[in-house]
Chains A and B, each alone.
Chain A
Amino acid sequence: MGIYPPPLEKLIEQFSRLPGIGQKSAARIALYVLKSDRELAENLASALVEVKDQIRLCSVCFNLTDNDPCSICRDQSRANGVLCIVEGPGELLAIEESGVFKGRYHVLHGVLSPLEGIGPEDLKISELFQRIEPEGIKEIILATNPTAEGEATASFLAKSLAEKGLKITRIALGIPMGGDLKYMDSLTLQHALKSRIPLQS
């Protein structure tokens, strides 16, 4: 049916299934692959298969890894009793790149979203609870995003963890670095004022 020969049509169709890629972009990428060296196509194909074969979830923190447990969960120096809860691998990577956090992570793989039919049992929440005692967790940092769903998820976790006798903290919410007070909304300002910290020399 398409205007291209069937094998090319097939490739375009596969690319167009990827998120954020429409028919036009898919055709552009497919034509690019076609006119490049054979090496590019071979490397692309083997990388795709490798990622599916070798990357899985760490059985402890549920981050993406090619080794189970992942390198962070195997690193004894990071067993400091502090657990940072994130929505997904992308958020974990962002915090890890900052280099500030020295403890371990727990990846929820989503946020609570009744509108999408996602409840507590659809996230890695029971797995989180199972880690607390064996790993001697003393503090939990709730680092879900400050969206309605992320906040509701943090509230849910804080309430469910309340009886465990842990220190439960939430990452600070407020004025972003490079932001401008004049343009801030009332909710952000409210958060920023509530979580103000003393400056001492």
Chain B
Amino acid sequence: MSRPDPIISPAIITRVKEFGESDLLVTFFTRESGLQKGVAKGARRSLKRFVNCLDAFCLASLEYTPKKQRDLCFIHSGKLLEAHQGLRSEYGSFSRASFIVELAETLFPPGVSDPRVFDLLKDSLKALSDEGGNILIPITFEARAMAIGGYRINLEKCCICGRAYKGEGRAVFVREKGGISCLGCRQESALSPGMEPESIRALRQMQDNDLGQLKGLDLSGGCLKEIKNVLKLHREYRLEKRLKTAKFLD
């Protein structure tokens, strides 16, 4: 069997670990192949092949040979494209970036790739770096990434009686159905929180649009809180785990 040819591709570095004496173990996303793990030989010593590009949340151009079956891929060289300096200089942004990266890794493990997620992750990291104070970014990322990953919340009709939701009046999020219901079908409670029409409209936009199309999305604090809470309940129910990074979000 011949060795596959090396690929040169933009990659988002998600994790870097020291490996042996002078190597680095690197986890990264590419647009075409999703999440991958590779080893960069001699990366801790090389001042030429890997100049400061193998660091968490950097966008780099990596030259690598894809793995065979379960092996690690082999990273030959890299060049920094975007360091996302704003994530390093502001811990709040760094925590938010960590959250979206962990969510992306969880929803799209090796072998499950979607080019839309690469673009979303890339745009969201850049936005967090440029305007870290914007708390909408991790929320819109979560809504969209869950939808791309197959966990879109059905906001079109009542998930119990089937009646279409016309955008009027409060509705209730039903965790086990991954949808909303009318107030007649389910009462509001801590695990089935109610949502304002404005929240439902905004969440629908977040699920179906790229970050760039959401510019100008203006939400009241109350709606933001409703959406955040619904997304958290939805995520923990669907993924059946708590993300390590979630506790550092607030």
Residues of A within 8 A of B (CB): 20, 112-117, 119, 147-149, 151-153, 155-156, 159, 176, 178-180, 183-188, 190
Q: Among the listed A113, A147, A176, A186, which residue makes an inter-chain contact with B47, where contact means beta carbons less than 8 Å apart?
A: A176
Is B47 touching A180 in the complex (CB atoms < 8 A)? Answer: yes
Q: Does B3 contact A (CB under 8 A)?
A: no
Say yes or no: A155-B56 contact (C-beta < 8 A), given A117-B244, A119-B248: no
Count A-B pairs with CB separation below 8 Å: 77
Beyond A115-B98, A155-B88, A187-B85: 5 further Cβ-contacts under 8 Å?
Answer: A20-B20, A114-B99, A159-B91, A176-B47, A185-B52
Is B91 touching A152 in the complex (CB atoms < 8 A)? Answer: yes
Interface size on B, residues (CB 8 A): 33
Is A185 touching B87 in the complex (CB atoms < 8 A)? Answer: no
Nearest residue in A to B21 (C-beta to C-beta)?
Answer: A20
B89 contact set on A, CB distance < 8 A: 151, 155
Q: Does B57 contact A (CB under 8 A)?
A: yes
B94 contact set on A, CB distance < 8 A: 112, 114, 148, 152, 155
> In the complex, what's the smallest C-beta–C-beta distance from A28 to chain B, in angstroms?
16
Residues of B within 8 A of A (CB): 14-16, 20-21, 47-48, 51-53, 55-58, 79-80, 83, 85, 87-91, 94-95, 98-99, 101-102, 244-245, 247-248
In the bound complex, CA of A155 to CA of B248 (Å): 16
> In the complex, what's the smallest C-beta–C-beta distance from A193 to chain B, in angstroms?
13
For A20, A114, A176, which residue has the most chain B Cβ atoms within 10 angstroms? A114
The 7 closest A-B pairs by CB, nearest first: A114-B98, A151-B88, A156-B91, A187-B83, A152-B94, A185-B80, A148-B56
> In the complex, what's the smallest C-beta–C-beta distance from A15 to chain B, in angstroms?
16
In the bound complex, CA of A184 to CA of B80 (Å): 10
